[in-house]
Amino acid sequence: MTEVTPRLAEVEADVQGIVEAHMETLLGVRFLASEYSTGPVHGGRIDSLGLDENGSPVIVEY
C-alpha cells in the first residue's frame, strides 16, 4: 500500500478512478466495471461494480 497525498478532488471521476484502481486494497472487493448500465428497464448506471470475497455484488456510488 502507498500513501496518497491528500488533495481535494476537482471532479467525482478523480475519486472514482482512485477507488477503482485500488478497490481490492481499500475494500477487499474485486473491481469489475465502471459506469455499468442497469439496463433499459431501470435506465441507470452503477458508478463502480465489484465482487466481494463471497462473490456477492458490491455497488459503489460517489
Based on the structure, what is the number of domains in the chain?
Answer: 1
Q: Is residue 47 part of a domain?
A: yes
Contact 28, 47 (CB under 8 A): no
- Per-residue pLDDT for 25 more than 70? yes
**1 belongs to a structural domain:** no
Average pLDDT over residues 5-33: 91
* Residue 26 banded pLDDT, cuts 50, 70, 90: very high
Confidence of residue 21 (pLDDT cuts 50, 70, 90): very high
Q: Which residues constitute the domain of residue 25?
A: 12-60
pTM: 0.81
The DSSP symbol for 6 reads P
Q: Does a structural domain hold residue 5?
A: no
Distances 37 to 3, 5, 27, 49 between C-alpha atoms, Å: 32, 32, 22, 10
Instruction: Write the pLDDT tens digit of every residue in 28-57.
Output: 999 999 999 999 999 999 999 999 999 999
Assess if residue 22 is contained within a domain. yes
Residue 27 forms part of a structural domain: yes
Q: How far apart are CA 25 and CA 45, in angstroms?
A: 24
